[in-house]
Structure 1
Amino acid sequence: MHAIRIMPNLRVADIGAARSFYTGFLGLGTEEFDLGWVARYTSPETGANVQLVTRDATSAEDAAISVHTPDVDAAYAEAQSLGYEIVHPLTVEEWGVRRFLVRAPDGNIVNVVAHRD
């Protein structure tokens, strides 16, 4: 597996209610996207970012982090060969990513994702 970016997924009850803290106080002023259940905010100066998540739209489990990789198919095959529990199968989601969710041995759920170019 080749990770090119790892992003925290913070669980929030309401993205709209949480937005001003992350965009104002923390300075993550750029909203990269907001799907209603997940939104990403980034600092225009530093590139620091975070995703706020209310509840994953298609997976029964929520991920603690999202790991971006250029080859999600290879990562999926490797996770399977190592015997890790796949909690959401390799899927092309309607919002344009290809991803799967895997349980780490410590119990954390990891969203492994590749964006279409």
Structure 2
Amino acid sequence: MAVKRIVSNFAVDDIAKVRAFYEDVLGLDCVMDHGWIATFAAESQNVMPQVSFATEGGSGTPVPDLSIEVDDLEDMLARVKEAGIGIEYGPAVEPWGVKRFYVRDPAGRLLNILCHG
């Protein structure tokens, strides 16, 4: 038996607002939409399922609801700013080797947007 994937499920009041953010700002694809649930994904990249548990978010920050790794942090930061979304932390280069910033999605979830190296 092997875990094939892990999917986070968050309750929201307005899927359309969330869809616009995750598709237009983050560039994810809506891979399933039943009206009451929508699932967003990036192209398959042979990644391992992961789940993290934390007492803090590092550098004294709150624990984010999701960590989203991107290949170009500067581009993502520009997209977030262009969309008028406030940055809650960072951008910062952390002692453990990641560059990151925090934002909130339209449902209020705290997102840790990061890039290694």
Offset of 1:58 from its aligned partner? 2.0
* C-alpha distance in 2 between matches for 1:58 and 1:52: 16
Structure-2-length-normalised TM-score: 0.56
* C-alpha distance in 1 between matches for 2:110 and 2:97: 21
Pairwise CA RMSD: 2.3
Change (3 A) 1:74 1:59: farther
Change (3 A) 1:78 1:7: farther
Structure-1-length-normalised TM-score: 0.56
| 2:82 is the counterpart of 1:78 | no
* C-alpha distance in 2 between matches for 1:50 and 1:93: 21
Match of 1:95 in 2: 96
* Structure 2 residues without counterparts, runs of 5 or longer: 1-5, 9-46
Offset of 1:51 from its aligned partner? 1.2
Match of 1:111 in 2: 112
* Structure 1 residues without counterparts, runs of 5 or longer: 1-5, 9-45
1:1-117 aligned at under 5 Å gives the runs 47-58=48-59, 60-116=61-117
The aligned amino acid for 1:88 is Y
Secondary structure at the counterpart of residue 73 of structure 1? helix
How many residues get paired?
A: 74
